[in-house]
Amino acid sequence: MQAEVRAFLQRIRAYPDDDAPRLVFADWLEEQGGRLSAPGWGRRRAEFIRVQLALAQLDREDAAADADFLA
């Protein structure tokens, strides 16, 4: 399982501007359920990743709106 996690993290680092590898990792974490560390850890980590991505999307949308306003 450690090798799988390393592979996900390498892909995330290789494509820092792409959200897809993070979402795939979040899905995988959620599917692992209690097989990772403490029970529920995978689901909580998956939710955390998805919230981070949602917040980043809001920041991108705000930046685009600001650019349109200033143009």
If residue 68 lies in a helix (H) or strand (E), which one and from where to where? helix 41-70
- The structure's pTM equals 0.78
The answer to whether residues 44 and 68 touch, using CB atoms and an 8 Å cutoff, is no
Number of H helices, E strands in the chain: 3, 0
- Is the pLDDT higher at 60 or at 68? 60
62 φ, ψ (degrees, to nearest 5): -65, -40
Q: What is the pLDDT of residues 5-47, one digit of tens each?
A: 999 999 999 999 999 999 999 999 999 876 776 778 889 999 9
- Is the pLDDT higher at 35 or at 53? 53
pLDDT of 34 reads 66
The answer to whether residues 20 and 50 touch, using CB atoms and an 8 Å cutoff, is no
